[in-house]
Amino acid sequence: MLQFDSMMRQSSADSPTFSPLYRQIKSLILQALDNGEWRPGELIPSEMELASRFSVSQGTVRKAIDEMAAENLLVRRQGKGTYVASHSDPRAFFRFLRLVPLTGVIESPKSTPLECWRAKAGVEAARVLGLNAGDPIIVVRRLLEFSGKPVVVDEIYLPGEIFAGLSLEVLKESQASLYSLFEGKFGVRMIRAEERLRAVAAERASAELLKVPEGSPLLSVERISYTYGDRPVEWRRGLYSTVEHCYLNELG
Amino acid sequence: MLQFDSMMRQSSADSPTFSPLYRQIKSLILQALDNGEWRPGELIPSEMELASRFSVSQGTVRKAIDEMAAENLLVRRQGKGTYVASHSDPRAFFRFLRLVPLTGVIESPKSTPLECWRAKAGVEAARVLGLNAGDPIIVVRRLLEFSGKPVVVDEIYLPGEIFAGLSLEVLKESQASLYSLFEGKFGVRMIRAEERLRAVAAERASAELLKVPEGSPLLSVERISYTYGDRPVEWRRGLYSTVEHCYLNELG
DNA sequence: GAGTGGTCTAGACCACTGC
DNA sequence: CAGTGGTCTAGACCACTCG
């Protein structure tokens, strides 16, 4: 089925699209994940099983899984097996909220949904989310509090088709993080995001929610999140009060 | 010399400090880098040579180098060899300045050194840089312009001992980036950094330099940079005007 | 003890670079 | 052409988890 040599191999002059066997395996595993063959948090087959399924050696499967583990798509656990990464895993919790207190220890925020309504995508939302203008979208507004103090107000735009059942009630009932909810209830797993940060002056509505003076500086964080296959599925804008917190980033 | 089995191997109950052979090799290569055995941009010995030098198989050296390449410490080039990563490499240029224009294409900034003076470390600078209060430090102020417009003003604190020869003249003569200069002239290579971002109101001096109204929101970026062995060697605070640019971050 | 991932080895061959 | 990194394989053994 899969062959590294013979027909599939092509010299660089003939074809620039050659990819090594372990990347082909990676694509197949990715495809299975996208198809929901194994859900977030679940155990995938052992390396040996996958090797025989794809008719390659264990080492080749291992290299494919290595890359996917490095990309936080899979999680290896020695002696147990390899799991599909999940936002319910506490280890993945702070990957998408890089906010830490200026002093003191890290604490989990409390999320309060404020509003949730249906709308039609404007030109920009359509462009960002890969929709057509006028397509249905869902907008969520919510507040994040640390130690009882409001720190972040978010406005979140989602494709209406994918998140059809989402409502303020569903959001209020959910105890888990937003991304855990998306994963569990809508089968959408966020695997990557781009954030664009700017400093802006607080407008009245945001200032009141965050309990800061109107016009004070806020951190504006615009995020586009992608699921498998680099499909954008969330557009979000947050305003962060950086009086007692800051956005922590590691440059490697 | 190196042995994976026998004495060096210890059961987890006996010793939690066990590390696999390829990590020991990695440490040795790291140590050689730290000692300046191979300088940034230079070619290191081939995998085969390193394997025989350390008396391990090529595969083990390969795994050590794999990790170091993933950490941007080394750069592999098929058919040529493995190089010590360098900030002079244009590919590494934007890793440490995540500023992109809101519209239009990426452009290289023009750096203008403003001041450079000697001082004694205060309590905070000493703590951050791992010095004693009162130790000599060097402070640099500079301006970054994109398309002729001022966008960033930086204040940079460096350990005086390591950067002894640094002066405004040296900075002005240098055509390369600051980190290329540090690498070439002082043998200090930055390999990692932490940035803490906040939104602040522009004070008069910064506002004038950045040509924005006093009190307008600016992005404050505080950076601690580390060299080999996680030794902090730079403390920096930048104020970014985000009128026409934003700080771009990838969440993986 | 059986099954999993983790490490190490050795050898073959491919792809790229430069002489 | 020789030398480099890149891929693939097969087999051995180690470390961890669980029943």
The pLDDT tens digits along chain A (252 residues) read 333 333 343 333 344 567 899 999 999 999 999 999 999 999 999 999 999 999 999 999 999 999 999 999 999 999 999 999 999 988 787 899 999 999 888 888 999 999 999 999 999 999 999 999 999 999 999 999 999 999 999 999 999 999 999 999 999 999 889 999 999 999 999 999 999 999 999 999 999 999 999 999 999 999 999 999 999 999 999 999 999 999 999 998
> Both tokens of residue B48?
């085969």
Taking the C-alpha atoms of residue A195 and residue A163, their distance in angstroms, rounded to an integer, is 22
Taking the C-alpha atoms of residue A152 and residue A241, their distance in angstroms, rounded to an integer, is 6
Q: Given phi > 0 = left and psi -120 to 50 = alpha, else beta, which region is B187?
A: left
Taking the C-alpha atoms of residue B143 and residue B155, their distance in angstroms, rounded to an integer, is 9
Residue with tokens 């309060």: A112
Q: Which CATH class is domain A2-84?
A: mainly alpha
- B204 to chain A, any CB pair closer than 8 A? The answer is no
- The integer distance in angstroms from the CA atom of B228 to the C1' atom of C13 is 37
Closest residue (CA) to C1' of nucleotide D3 is B79
Question: What positions of strand D are covered by protein, i.e. any atom < 7 Å from a CB?
Answer: 3-11, 14-18
Taking the C-alpha atoms of residue A215 and residue A196, their distance in angstroms, rounded to an integer, is 21
- The integer distance in angstroms from the CA atom of A1 to the C1' atom of D5 is 28
User: What are the φ and ψ backbone dihedral angles of A80, each rounded to 5 degrees?
Assistant: -115, -55
DSSP label at residue B43: E
The nucleotide minimizing the C1' distance to residue A62's CA is C5
- A91 to chain B, any CB pair closer than 8 A? The answer is no
How high is the pLDDT of residue A17? 64
The nucleotide minimizing the C1' distance to residue A80's CA is C4
Domain boundaries, chain B: 2-84, 90-247
- A250 to chain B, any CB pair closer than 8 A? The answer is yes
Amino acid at B86: S
Strand C reaches within 7 A of the B79 CB: yes
C-alpha torsion angle, residues A29, A32, A34, A39 (rounded to 10): -100
How high is the pLDDT of residue B224? 98
Strand C reaches within 7 A of the B59 CB: yes
DSSP label at residue B14: T
The nucleotide minimizing the C1' distance to residue B5's CA is D14
Q: Which residues of B touch A223 (CB under 8 A)?
A: 251
Amino acid at B8: M
Q: Could you tell me if A176 and A88 are in contact, meaning their C-beta atoms sit under 8 angstroms apart?
A: yes
Q: Could you tell me if A209 and A242 are in contact, meaning their C-beta atoms sit under 8 angstroms apart?
A: no
How high is the pLDDT of residue A92? 80
B197·A249 Cβ contact <8 A: yes
Q: Which residues, other chains included, contact A115 with Cβ-Cβ below 8 Å and sequence gap of 6+?
A: A139, A140, A141, A168
CA nearest B243: which of A236, A220, A207, A152?
A: A220
User: What are the φ and ψ backbone dihedral angles of B199, each rounded to 5 degrees?
Assistant: -105, 130
HEC-encoded secondary structure of B68-135: HHHCCCEEEECCCEEEECCCCCHHHHHHCCCEEECCCCCCCCEEEEEEEEEEECCHHHHHHHCCCCCC
Mutual angle of helices A21-34 and A47-54, in 10-degree steps = 110
- The integer distance in angstroms from the CA atom of B251 to the C1' atom of D12 is 40
Taking the C-alpha atoms of residue A4 and residue A54, their distance in angstroms, rounded to an integer, is 12
CA nearest B108: which of B145, B65, B136?
A: B145
Strand C reaches within 7 A of the A15 CB: no
- B152 to chain A, any CB pair closer than 8 A? The answer is no
Taking the C-alpha atoms of residue B33 and residue B122, their distance in angstroms, rounded to an integer, is 31
Of A96, A201, A251, the CB nearest to B96: A251
> Both tokens of residue A252?
């490697």
* List of chain B residues with pLDDT < 70: 1-17
HEC-encoded secondary structure of chain A: CCCCCHHHCCCCCCCCCCCCHHHHHHHHHHHHHHCCCCCCCCEECCHHHHHHHHCCCHHHHHHHHHHHHHCCCEEEECCCEEEECCCCCHHHHHHCCCEEECCCCCCCCEEEEEEEEEEECCHHHHHHHCCCCCCEEEEEEEEEEECCEEEEEEEEEEECCCCCCCCHHHHHHCCCCHHHHHHHHHCCCCCEEEEEEEEEECCHHHHHHHCCCCCCEEEEEEEEEEEHHHEEEEEEEEEECCCCEEEEEEEC
Sign of the alpha-carbon dihedral angle for B140, B151, B242, A96: negative
- B149 to chain A, any CB pair closer than 8 A? The answer is no
User: What are the φ and ψ backbone dihedral angles of A173, each rounded to 5 degrees?
Assistant: -70, -30
Of B197, B223, B240, the CB nearest to A247: B197
Nucleic strand D interface residues, CB < 7 Å: A 4, 20-23, 56-60, 63, 77-80; B 5, 9, 11-12, 18, 46-49, 59, 62, 76-82
B218 three-state secondary structure: strand
CA nearest B227: which of B92, B77, B33, B66?
A: B33
CA nearest A153: which of A145, A164, A165, A162?
A: A145
- Tell me the residue length of chain A: 252
Closest residue (CA) to C1' of nucleotide C5 is A78
Of the candidate CATH numbers 3.40.1410.10, 3.90.470.20, 3.40.50.2300, 3.90.226.30, the domain formed by A90-247 belongs to: 3.40.1410.10
- The integer distance in angstroms from the CA atom of B58 to the C1' atom of C9 is 9
- A224 to chain B, any CB pair closer than 8 A? The answer is no
Sign of the alpha-carbon dihedral angle for A73, A77, A82, A87: negative
Sign of the alpha-carbon dihedral angle for B76, B224, B30, B3: negative
User: By CA distance, what is A71's nearest residue in B?
Assistant: B252
